[in-house]
Structure 1
Amino acid sequence: MGKVYIINGSPKIKKDNNSQYFIDEFLKLLEDTNLQIEQTIISRGYYEDIYPKLMESDIIIFTAPLYVDSIPSHLLSFMIGLERYIKQSRASEDISTKVYAIFNCGFFEGYQNRIALDIMRNFCHKVGFTWRFGIGIGAGEFMGPSKNIPLKSKGKEDTFNALLELKKDIVNNSLDIKNNIYTSPKMPRFIFQLAGNIGWIKQAKSNRVSIRGIYAKPYVKKL
C-alpha cells in the first residue's frame, strides 16, 4: 500500500518520551493495514543515512514536543539538512511524498502547537513535499505518563479520534484539503494545573531545589 517513515523528534532519546507514546498508539491503529512502516528517533549527529530513506517513502510523519512555540533545535537542524540533501540530489523534481505531523505540548490547549505546525507546513511547501495536516495535542505531560489510561477512554478520546482521522487519511489516500486537528484532555483545566504544580514541586525536591527556589529569578536586574 505504501511506505511510511516516522520521525521521532523528541530530545529525549530514550523511549519513555511522550512523542514515542503517541507513535506507539498510532502504530496500534495501523496493525490492520499493509503499510510498510519504519521509524527512528533522531538526536544531534549524522543524518545522511536517513535522508535517502525519507525520499523513498510515500509518507513521512514528524512527531515532536513543542519547544518555545517552535520545533526542537535538533529537529530543525535535521530539516535543514534534508532541504540541502533534496537540493543537491535534485530530488525535488519528482517528489510525491505526503507529510503529517503530531506535536504535543505542556500547555493544556492543543492549539498552542499551531505555530510549530505552521513551520512544518511552510517547510513542506519549500522543499516540495505535500503537506496534509497536523495534530496538536495539549497536556502532553498528562497524556504520555498516564499510559495506564487507554487512549480510547473518555478523557483521551479526542486524541484517539484525531489519530484515527490520520489513519483514514493515509489509508484512503485522501487529497482533499484538511485543517489541523487540536485536542485537549476532557478534564477541568484547573485539575491539570494542580497536578502540574504538584509534579513541579516533586521534581524540584528530587533535585534539592526548594519551593522558594522554583520562583527564583537570578538574572533579573535589580533597580
Structure 2
Amino acid sequence: MARSLEPPPYYAASRYTSSRPSSSSAVGSCVVAALFLLLAAGGAATALFILFRPRAPAIAVTAVQLPSFSLVNGTATFTFQQLASVRNPNRAPLAHYDSSLRVGYAGGEVGSMYIPAGQIEGGRTQYMATSFTVPAFPFSSASAAQPDTITVAASGPSPALAALARQQALSPPLIEVDSLLRMKGKVTVLGVLTHHVEAAKLCRIGVSPADGRVLGFRC
C-alpha cells in the first residue's frame, strides 16, 4: 500500500513562517523621512523670509514752509507745513497708525500733530502734507545761530569783504527748529505673520526771524 508523500521538515517550516522586516530598518526610514521634511520646511521658510522680509518704510521730506510767522517781545508763533513722501518697500500693504510730526526748538518740543491712520499698498509711495499751528513759545536770541565771522588781514579788508561783513552784521540771527516725522505700522506677511515696523526722519530747519522765511533745511 502506497503512503502519501510528506513534505520535508524544512519546507514546512519555511511555508508557515512569515518574513517580517526588522524594527531597526523601519525606525531608520522614519528618521530619514523626518529629517527630509525638516530640511524642506526650513528651506521653504528661509526662501519666504528672504522674499517677504518686512522692511521699514522710507521717508523723504521734500518741502517745509511757514505760511504765518510772528515774533513779538521775544515770543514766537507760526504755522508749520511739511510735505513728505512715504514709500512702502514691502510686497504686502503697510497699515500705519500712531504716527506723528513733532517740532522742537532749543532742545524742547513746541508743537506736535498726530497723523491719521491709513494704508499704503505694497511698492507704492504716498505723499503726506501736514499743517498745524505751533503755540507761542519764548525765543532767545542767544540760542539762535549767528553768522560766520570773517577774518581779514592786518592791512585791512578789501571793499568786497567789507561789504559782506557789513551785510552779515546787519542780518539777524537764524532760528533753528527741528522736525521729527515718525511712522509706525505693521505688515502682514502671507496673511498670517504680522510684523511691526517703524521709521523716523529728523530735519533741522533754518528760519529767518525777520519774516519767517525758510532759508534751508537738512535731514
TM-score, normalisation: structure 2 = 0.24
Please give the TM-score of this superposition, normalised by the length of structure 1. Answer: 0.23
Higher helix share: 1
Report which of the two has the higher share of strand.
2
